Amino acid sequence: MIAHAARRRGPKPALLSLASAALLLWACQAQAFSLDDVTAQARTLMNKPYVAPVNNLPPAFSDMQFADYQKMQPRADRFEWKDLDTPFRLNFYHQGMQFNSAVRINEITADGVQEIKYDPDRFDFGGLAFDRGATQALGYAGFRVLYPINQPDKLDEIVSFLGASYFRVIGKGQVYGLSSRGLAIDTAPPGGEEFPNFREFWIQRPAPQDRQLVIYALLDSPRATGAYQFIVTPGGKDAVVDVQANIFVRGDIKTLGIAPLTSMFLYGPNQQSDLKRGFRPAIHDSNGLALRTGSGEWLWRPLNNPRQLAISSFEVENLKGFGLLQRGREFSRYEDLKDRYDLRPSAWIEPQGQWGKGRVTLMEIPTPDETNDNIVAFWTPDAPTRRGQMLQFAYRMHWTTDEPALHDAANAWVRQTFHTDSEQLQANLIRKLDGNSAFLIDFEGPALASLPAGTEVRPRVSVGDNADLIDVGIERNPATKGWRVSLRVRVKNPALPVEMRAALVQGDLPISETWSYQLPPNPPPAAAAPPAPAATP
């Protein structure tokens, strides 16, 4: 830009060369730090013994309750970059509670790399009583990125890195919901899960014209190290994050989870639940796992809050995409003015390049309330993960509330699933329960809405060995311009799960994604032990 401005003024050639040289020097300095530098650190770290992060919290901070931790807020007058010509701002999380070790945060500028030193004066402690001297040895637990996505003159928090390798992102009109992680290690049992940590960050100071933010991170854990690059693009509606991960394996790993997502599902209309109480018809950050295979097939797996841990695995070669989605944006689906589940984003992972053979794993963990994240999804390569390997993965993350835009418009998708007790209409027009299970699946999309009247659409349905398919029905749904499939199934053994699949076809060709549902085990409650005999005097 300096050179272009100089040309418009018609400088002498010597001055033009000087301006060009200055621009080139600035560009070289700005690029002096890159993912290669973090990768070199991760490679070196892999060959050293693992050293766990040090807990440096005094009791006043380690014993904090969540309400007290929330009182520690960054001061707006001390935001990083507040005096720079950039729409981005940076502020920090204070240490406290389980965030008991500091992370190093650096800034990359044209002059090089400089640590952003911890300063307690950056925070408003909200009246908390503690010895201010206790903060001298503390640091930052993480950071936030702010950017005006909703109003030109109002800063909005759009990215948060806090705890282990967790981060969250939102776009315009969205509120925080599900999270992502840098890496998951042995999340699925048997064995204990290992939680890698982002130990250090490097954040590139944005130039005035920049509308992207570049973040680097160094990951460390007993069996892996890693170098990460995140390019965050806020956008006008959704947020996009391009991720490059260079992973070094310190020790053999049974289940390596790439692009892991973590969410919450308590209940919804697709699952009968005794947790449903109060006025809210559904409580969840996500209600399904979406998957696009290398062959182009689309799958939709509605989520459950099971009575016992449930793990599902979907084999796929050269995965084209997967994600935890929040389908259904009408406020009436949730009726929650406080938590606004209708505004929580979906996260869609789009692999860059060929990932080869692997599987997408979905874990559903029982939870009694909405405060626990109980849903995990990630991709795992088929090839064993062995000590000494370097693995590279690139992917684009879409944080969106426009789920139809993620889907192929030529292929219909599942709008909603209803699970209820099966009933039959009697001769007196009274509906009577028959002891079976019933499902209603609504399919929608332009591919269905544009079908001419009279087009024959058939359901293709299958159930696993643990159930009998009693009845299948299909009818046009004029309210959604789609089609509704109804199923009635008889479960043979309630203590075992039932797998079901349904799709719409024209002739022999599918015209919708495949609804792939698991009815979780629902064993009868254990019989109460007989009372102990009365003691003999």
Q: Mind listing the pLDDT tens digit for each residue in 484-518?
A: 999 999 999 999 999 999 999 998 899 999 999 99
Q: For the chain, which residues make up each domain, given as ranges? A: 39-405, 413-519
Task: Name residues whose C-beta falls within 8 Å of residue 162's C-beta, 6 or more positions apart in sequence.
Answer: 93, 99, 141, 142, 143
Res 372: pLDDT: 93
Handedness of CA 424, 427, 432, 436 (dihedral sign): negative
Please give the pLDDT value at position 531: 52
pLDDT digit string (tens) for 324-339?
999 999 999 999 999 9
Q: How confident is the model at residue 530 (pLDDT cuts 50, 70, 90)?
A: low
- State which CATH number among 3.30.460.80, 2.70.98.10, 3.90.105.10, 3.40.50.300 fits the domain covering 39-405: 2.70.98.10
Statement: residue 90 has pLDDT above 80 = yes
Cα–Cα distance measured from residue 345 to residue 352, given in angstroms and rounded to the nearest whole number: 22
- Tell the burial category of 381 from Cβ atoms under 10 Å away from its Cβ (0-12, 13-18, 19+): middle
CATH of 413-519, picked from 3.40.50.300, 2.60.40.10, 3.40.1280.10, 3.90.25.10, is: 2.60.40.10
Quick: pLDDT tens for 330-389.
999 999 999 999 999 999 999 999 999 999 999 999 999 999 999 999 999 999 999 999
The pLDDT value given to residue 31? 56
Query: What pLDDT score was predicted for residue 22?
Result: 39
Report the distance separating Cα 502 and Cα 464, nearest Å.
Answer: 12
- At 192, the pLDDT band (50, 70, 90 cuts) reads confident
Res 73 pLDDT > 90:
yes
524: buried, middle or exposed (CB in 10 Å: 19+, 13-18, 0-12)?
exposed
Q: Kindly indicate the confidence band of residue 235, based on its pLDDT and cuts at 50, 70 and 90.
A: confident
Whether residue 525 is preceded by a cis peptide bond, meaning omega within 30 degrees of 0, is no
Which pLDDT does position 168 carry in this prediction? 98
Which amino acid is it at 464? Answer: G
